[in-house]
Amino acid sequence: MPDDRWVPPTVLLAVDLVILTLRQSRLQVLLIQRGIEPYRGALALPGGFLSHDKEDLSAAAHRELSEEAGLGPDELHLEQLGFYGAPERDPRGRVVSAAYLAVAPRLPEPVPGTDASRACWMPVTQALAGESNLAFDHAEILTDGIHRAREKLERSALATAFCGPTFTISELQDVYEAVWGVTLDARNFYRKVQSVDGFIVAAGPTRKNVGGRPARLFRPGPRTILHPPMSRPQGPTSQEAT
């Protein structure tokens, strides 16, 4: 029990980002090759310390998103993921990471020539393979982020955050299949997304393809909660949270 003059310890607060997107029908994450110790040269999630005393946590997340990935706050899903003790992460003191999950639409090329040109997209399976090359406890954070994304696809309209402003139903199905690691029946998928009122709404006529019938375009609708939820097939990707 501390005495009367006891003051609580302070910690360094870092913000780390799990930025997910879909590329080549695979779920991919943005990683940065570290330029400084510790874990110099290893791959890590984008992140950094608070820039100043009063900086809001979500503001810091958006700042990192912009600095390290060139992603603006628009058309982007960002939510809290959790905090991680990460003891002895840095010689400068006790560090606690506040992790955020971001979901970005398909992007033209890996990363623009931003601050961190060492950023790259990598399939999550590869990032987590082989007991991982990721720095710190970032493998755990990434695992939790993927798990969160999988869960939220069921109950929310998060899937549309993986797509651009307009998308086809096939593209949406692609998101579900890649994130969940399953294959879905097209007929049943159509029926489901169409039947949930306000999930997606028609936008424009059609989009031409390389060959095949043009697909209708949709935009995200006002509904953000899916009720009843999309049903996820019992897959090998079942894990327990927290």
Partner DNA sequence: CAAATAGTGTCTGTGAGACACTATCAG
Partner DNA sequence: CTGATAGTGTCTCACAGACACTATTTG
Closest C-alpha among 154, 149, 175, 165 to residue 26: 175
User: Does 188 help bind DNA (rule: CB under 7 A)?
Assistant: yes
Closest C-alpha among 108, 28, 104, 26 to residue 66: 104
Q: Are 21 and 15 in contact (CB under 8 A)?
A: no
Among 24, 195, 238, 242, binds DNA (CB under 7 A): 195
Tokens of 6: 């006891």
Residues that bind its own copies (CB under 8 A): 2, 7-14, 49-58, 79-80, 82-83, 85, 87, 92-94, 96, 98, 151, 155-156, 224-225, 227-228, 231, 234, 238, 240-242
Distance from chain centroid for Cα 194: 25
User: Does 132 help bind DNA (rule: CB under 7 A)?
Assistant: no
User: Does 41 help bind DNA (rule: CB under 7 A)?
Assistant: no
Nearer to DNA, 39 or 189 (CB): 189
Instruction: Give the 3-state secondary structure of residue 165.
Output: coil
Residue 90 CB, shortest distance to its own copies, in Å, is 9
Residue 126 CB, shortest distance to DNA, in Å, is 25
Contact code string over 146-185 relative to DNA, x by CB under 7 A: ----------------------xxx-------------xx
